[in-house]
Amino acid sequence: MSTSSFSAAHNQASTLYLPPGPWQTVFDCLCEHFSAIGREQWLDRIARGRVLDGQGMPIALDLPYKEGLRIHYFREVPDEKPIPVVESILYADEHLVVADKPHFLPVTPAGEYVEQTLLRRLIRRLDNPHLVPLHRIDRHTAGLVLFSANPQSRSAYQSLFPTRQIEKRYEAIARALPELTFPMVHKSRLIDGEPFFRMQEGPGVSNTETAVEVREKNGEFWRYALYPVTGKKHQLRVHMAALGAGICNDPFYPQVLKDVEDDYANPLKLLAQGLRFVDPVTGQEREFESTIALEW
């Protein structure tokens, strides 16, 4: 496998450094370490070259176990449930891809989603295994996601986010807040919440900041423009709930809705609507706008 091919494969694979144990082979270690996956499935994956060594080569079934050995494996979900939404590509060149993600589609493989993700769909559509997302938005959120298409220029684009050289604009529909004065800035400290997939505000120095404006009023609901200065997990959803206006159709905030099924007719009313930045490779000013609209 060439270096470029291995790098591309590595971007799609998960990595495990073999833990301490009594196993004779890597196969035995994998079977016990991932007890939810049957031996027959590991046999099948190894036979199909879906388990690689540190050099990106398919492992043999009798590869001896060694603590700390680096193994790459491809996650697979049998009978993965299709997600009946379609992404669109707004822009693509040799360095950058801009996608418009619909609600409910995950950006990257996680949990029960592997092939039904924006990343895997774009890799197939563009025939480019080097694609890597430069940032993430929640599965329930729709809108713009940037992808690096070229490993040589990737770090230049990645640096836009921690250095805050990219302006992000979101739109949300939530309860009216006539008791507050807008525009306003909300700052707080976000910490891990309960259950494990939630975030919550906690004591201490703030680590998140969102500017909030009112864009349109429609009776008991308003359309808000949100400008996140920071990019913590679920930041906008937590901040709006903290202001007293949880975003419409949010299954996690302010309370978790138990056993809720994806309701494609009533998505979370949150959209990553606009991105603006100076392209670090070309020096051009870039501005992208989602084609998705949040309906009242």
**Residue 38 corresponds to which tokens in the numbers above?**
């049957």
Confidence of residue 38 (pLDDT cuts 50, 70, 90): confident
Residue 170 pLDDT: 98
Q: Are 134 and 161 in contact (CB under 8 A)?
A: yes
Quick: pLDDT tens for 43-60.
988 988 889 998 889 999
Q: Are 73 and 17 in contact (CB under 8 A)?
A: no
CATH 3.10.290 for the 3-73 domain, yes or no: yes
Q: What is the rounded CA–CA span in Å between residue 173 and residue 250? A: 11
How much is the average pLDDT of 11-39? 87
pLDDT at 9 over 70: no
Q: Are 169 and 236 in contact (CB under 8 A)?
A: no
Outline which parts of the chain fall under CATH 3.30.2350.10.
88-289
Q: Are 212 and 180 in contact (CB under 8 A)?
A: no
Kindly state the greatest CA–CA separation across the chain: 68
The architecture CATH gives domain 88-289: 2-Layer Sandwich (3.30)
Which of helix, strand or coil describes residue 135? coil
Confidence of residue 35 (pLDDT cuts 50, 70, 90): confident
How much is the average pLDDT of 110-117? 80
How much is the average pLDDT of 272-277? 98
Which are the contacts of 139, defined by CB distance < 8 A and separation ≥ 6? 104, 105, 106, 107, 113
Provide the total of helices (H) and of strands (E) in the chain, helices listed first.
6, 14
Confidence of residue 113 (pLDDT cuts 50, 70, 90): confident
Outline which parts of the chain fall under CATH 3.10.290.
3-73
DSSP string, 37-72: S-HHHHHHHHHTT-EE-TTSPBPPTTPBP-TT-EEE
Q: What is the pTM of this model?
A: 0.78
Residue 257 pLDDT: 87
> Please, which residues bridge with residue 276 across strands?
167, 287
Q: What is the rounded CA–CA span in Å between residue 103 and residue 67? A: 42
pLDDT at 258 over 90: no
pLDDT at 193 over 90: yes
pLDDT averaged over the chain? Answer: 91
pLDDT at 6 over 50: no
